[in-house]
Structure 1
Amino acid sequence: MKDVRCDDLSYTNWELSDDEMGQTVQLFREQRRQMGVEKADEAWFCDPLDDWLACLSGGRDGTGRDGAGRDGTARTGRRRSGTAKPGGGGLSRESVAALAVGMREKLAFRDALIVSLVCPQADRDHLLELGVRPHRPQSVRYLCGVLDDTFRDPGTKPEGDRATRGFSMLTQILASVPENYQAQPLAVLAYMLWWMGDARAVADAVRALAYDERCTLAAIVLSAVEHGICPAWLDPEHAGNSPEPVAS
């Protein structure tokens, strides 16, 4: 177990093995078979989303939820071990594994994390709904509305501390999981860097596509850069439609 440093934050690198990640994938799929997709997805996403939001805000998220039952067992059925305190050591070991697997297995989880990064006003319940039930009309309207407002309004700019914590969590995930689980976290990182006007977005998008040539979000980021599309806060006169992630 090592520390990952990003922008003066030190988050734990959990060094998850292929075997451990493979077991997590099997658990995700088995729970979907046993519980049904929607119920299982909500149970899976609740705890890591709470952990993510707590870290993103620099402390607890204000909901009073710690994601675990009285016996310390998370709602996903995995016992918590090596848990890092939100806002301190970054995401817990369990959350890193669950998010990496979740983003690979269901892109809507990834899209919910993106919304949490670019829209500080997005509340936990809307994010959970977006991740679990992305194809409901209200979820589609919410995703499109949030991203459209965020990228078309010149007055909407990235929040420095929030962006730093988001980058650090994504870096933590990338440092902790094997390469075959890195495409989607890299694509989210590329998307965030594009939003920040950081040229490193291209390199991360290329890396994501090297790991998974079907990673459409990474391809969208590259296309946006190639065509000079940027958020309104960077260049109001040349801002185009935001490269919106599409869950499937």
Structure 2
Amino acid sequence: MTANRTVHITGMEMKETINQFEQDCRLNGTRKAVHSLISEAFLIWMDALEQASVENDEPWRVGVTRTECSLDRDTVIRITVGMGEMLSIRDAFLISAIVDEQRASREFLMDFAERPKQSINAQRLEQLLSDSFRDPLARPDMKRCDQAINMLFDIIDMIPKTYRAQPFAVISYIMWWMGQEGAMAAAISALAIDDQCSLAAIVCSAVERHIGPAWTSET
């Protein structure tokens, strides 16, 4: 999936969507507002990840051609605003890249994005993260991860710099999970924009301490 990199989204467009989301939260509640904001964009994202997983039969390699599909302007805005406004939305996109749909269905991830404080959702997400970190057999689907990273870089190319922190942070985590050296650079890029970005700080700390997921044998 690619975005039209010749299209540049303005800060005004971002602010309009943020204001609409905040108003929707006040009028209809957070759950309905989140669903309205990202449900369609999330399906587009998930479809692209699944296509990357199942359609590319050749062994994964750096630079492999990714599944092509168009990320339109509205989808990019909604993904970016969602990640910036609610960490549960950001985490849903992150988990979707590192965990396959058999273990983390799109229905569960959307429900988590909408209701992160629901105990069953919070416990399930924590378990998924723990398993992916501690289980040496939980190896990344490189094609799926690569597709997510490329889509996020495409998004970053389209949006104003001030909104790039969370996409960079998600890239840094996925790269760390994959054992790629670019994880630190992506995390630093996120922190340069928002020095309070906790996900990027976590990745920086893990890389500096040579801590990695169990499959990399660094833990």
Quickly name the TM-score band, shorter chain normalised. Answer: 0.7 to 0.9
In structure 1, what is the Cα distance between the partners aligned to 2:185 and 2:17?
29
Contact 2:98 2:140 in 1 (8 A): yes
Q: What is the aligned partner in structure 2 of residue 58 from structure 1?
A: 51
In structure 2, what is the Cα distance between the partners aligned to 1:211 and 1:101?
15
The one-letter code of the counterpart of 2:142 is: G
In structure 1, what is the Cα distance between the partners aligned to 2:2 and 2:154?
9
Contact 1:183 1:209 in 2 (8 A): yes
Q: What is the aligned partner in structure 2 of residue 66 from structure 1?
A: none
Work out the percentage of aligned pairs sharing the same amino acid.
36
The one-letter code of the counterpart of 1:20 is: E
Q: What is the aligned partner in structure 2 of residue 110 from structure 1?
A: 90
Q: What does 1:66-105 align with in structure 2 at a 5 Å threshold?
A: 88-105=68-85
The one-letter code of the counterpart of 1:197 is: G
| Offset at residue 10 of structure 1 (A) | 4.7
Aligned length: 203
1:33 alignment partner, one of 23, 26, 31: 26
Deviating 4+ runs (over 2 angstroms) = 9-14, 87-92
Give the superposed CA RMSD: 1.7
CA deviation vs aligned residue, 1:194-215 (integer Å, no higher than 9, x gap): 1111111111111101100110
Contact 2:3 2:72 in 1 (8 A): no
The one-letter code of the counterpart of 1:107 is: L
User: Is 1:210 the counterpart of 2:192 in the alignment?
Assistant: yes
| Offset at residue 134 of structure 1 (A) | 0.6
Contact 2:2 2:154 in 1 (8 A): no
CA deviation vs aligned residue, 1:157-194 (integer Å, no higher than 9, x gap): 11122122111111111111001110000000000111
CA separation of 1:220 and 1:232: change in aligned 2, threshold 3 A: same
| Offset at residue 38 of structure 1 (A) | 1.8
* TM-score when normalising by structure 1: 0.78
